[in-house]
Structures are given as C-alpha cells and as structure tokens.
Amino acid sequence: MADTLINYPPRIQLAHTPTPLQPLRRLQQQIGGPLIWLKRDDMTGSTLSGNKVRKLEFIAAKAIASGCDTLITCGGIQSNHCRATALVAAQLGLKCHLILRGLPKSTQASDGNQLLDELSGCSISYHSPAVYASTLGALFTQVSNEYAKAGHRAFAIPTGGSDGDGLWGYIAACDEMNSDFLAHGISPAAIITASGSGGTQAGLIVGAHLLGMQADIYGINVCDDEQYFIDKIKDDIADWQLKYPLQGSLALTASMIRMIDGYVGEGYAKAGQSVIDTITLLSRTEGVVLDPVYSGKAFDGLLQEITSGRFATDNDIVFIHTGGVFGLFPYKTMFTQRS
C-alpha cells in the first residue's frame, strides 16, 4: 500500500490490513441493483477487529507518545469501541478503564462485547443512562484523577474514538482503498458506512478529499439525525485541522457531508424486523455476518435505498463492513425463531 501522498502522524500497527474488498455477486443476482463491494474491515483482526482498530492505531500511538500509560474511554455496555480499546490496552501493556452506559443485570452472564471487556482485564464502571448522560465529562475527570493519584497518566478517548486523532484511521483506509480500486479496475461511485459517532465518515471524507477520490462518501446514521451528524463531522474535521495544521487546507463544504437519514428505526441499538431479515439474507447469500446495531442497520438502509433507485444499476458501490459481530449475540432471541 502506498501511503505516500499524506504525511501520517505516528501509528502503531494493530489492524491486519489491507482488508479484502469483496464483491457481493450472489446478492446482486438475487436482488438486482448495482454491484456492492464490501470493504471487509470486520477482518482487521479477530476479537480486536472492526473499524475502531484503525482509529486506535493513531490514538494509542499518540497516548504513548504523550507519556500516558492508561486509556480511558466510554460507550454503551455493548460498545465495540470499548471492547477494541480494552484489548488494545492489554496488547500494548497499558491500563484501561471503561465508563459504560447501562447497569448489568446481576442475574445474567456477560455477553458479547461486555464479556470480552471483562476478559481483557480492564477496569469498568457502570452507570445508569441518566447518570451517564448528565455527568460524562465529570466521570472522565474523576477516573483520570484516580489514576493520577495512583501514579498513572491517563489518555482520554472520546466516544467511538471520533476526534481529530481517530480520524486518521479512515484517511489511511482511503489510501488502502485507492490501491484496492486499482487492483480490481473499478472506480466506485459511492463509499457508504454506518455512522454512530461520525469519525469513520469524517475520516473517509477527508481521505477521499486529500487523495482526490471520485467516490461520494455517504453515512447511514444508526442514531440521532442528519443535522446531528453534519455538526459532529464538521467538529471532528475542525479538530483534525487544529491538531494537524500542516496537512494542507480542506475547504469543507456542507455538500461533502452526505447523510442517508431515515433508518434509525425505534432508536440506537433497536433493530426492527427488516434489519434482522437483512442480516439473515446476507449470511445465507454470501456467508457474511453483520450486526444489528451498526453494519446490519446501515446495510438494510442501503438495500432500501437501492430499491428506491438512489444508486444507478451500472455503478460499483462500496459498503464498509465495520465489524461489530460480538454485538450480534445479545440479540440472539430475535433470530431463534428462524428455520
């Protein structure tokens, strides 16, 4: 991969890259529409896998360069980002503390990402959604102070690893995809990702811009709404420009932030029947498994957009499989009725 045009900050290799770019020909035969290529970022690793690993390559490098020995981050009880951060910390010999939204049920064994968090040996504090929403900043400060008192130095990572540092992960992924497109002889019209905290989409927007890629970048939001993501992505890109001013100017126009809104359903982490059906369809047609919170919800939105004609049939389009398979297991009862 030629990371030549862009002046990357320090990076620790954690992701197994390049990940495959896989055409979904059997799906196309079954449903018609354009050929969807899956960028298999679910294969950046085994338990340490998914989109977050790409961001953490730059975030962990910065934490260590800043003299920190502890990572603190936050998210939902089934957060893929928290699981990835906890495993990165274990791999690099750092301490890790997760501030999780949600109180575990004492009668239920840990499942999915939460189980992997526990296996990583990180320390975890659980908070009710109300306490988490109203005091997150204070919780970060409190945990950070506790580590400082014990002689440690903590690096705070925001939700989803989405800020000017994490954004590098998907700038680098654009470099990688440029090589993929060359190797496959394609020039995709669109690159589409699930957007949860916005950093993956922000990185793709900046990377595509810096590399002069033809593809339009789309985010299918799995929570909140279009305006929330426009503001959040603008903020993340502004943070990147502030932290890395030598990267050349990026004239960000509102039209570069393309959201496909309307597929949140009943809310974040709530999957409707259509999402469950889409996950089942792709598993059976291509042997590829999506998750109900991010990749499955966004891919279900993409299939509905294809049906309504948003993407021309003769186009190649790329969907980033951002991983998240461990988040599937807590939804097991939604799948068990199927034959």
Contacts with ligand PLP by CB under 6 A lie at: 50-51, 80-81, 160, 162, 194-201, 291, 294-295, 322-324
Choose between 57 and 291: whose C-beta lies nearer to ligand PLP.
291
CB of 42 to ligand PLP, least distance (A): 8
The question of whether 79 is a catalytic residue gets the answer yes
CB of 290 to ligand PLP, least distance (A): 9
Number of H helices, E strands in the chain: 10, 10
Q: Spot the catalytic one: 46, 49, 66, 79.
A: 79
Rounded CA separation 35/124 (Å): 43
Choose between 147 and 218: whose C-beta lies nearer to ligand PLP.
218
Residue 241: burial class (beta carbons within 10 Å; 0-12, 13-18, 19+): middle
CB of 65 to ligand PLP, least distance (A): 22
Rounded CA separation 42/143 (Å): 31
Residue corresponding to tokens 């953490």 = 56
- Phi and psi (nearest 5°) for 205? -60, -45
CB of 24 to ligand PLP, least distance (A): 18
Rounded CA separation 170/188 (Å): 17
What is the layout of strands, in order, in the sheet containing 154-156?
A: 123-127, 95-101, 70-76, 154-156
Choose between 178 and 200: whose C-beta lies nearer to ligand PLP.
200
Counted residue by residue, the chain has a size of: 339
Choose between 70 and 78: whose C-beta lies nearer to ligand PLP.
78
Q: What residues are annotated to the active site?
A: 79
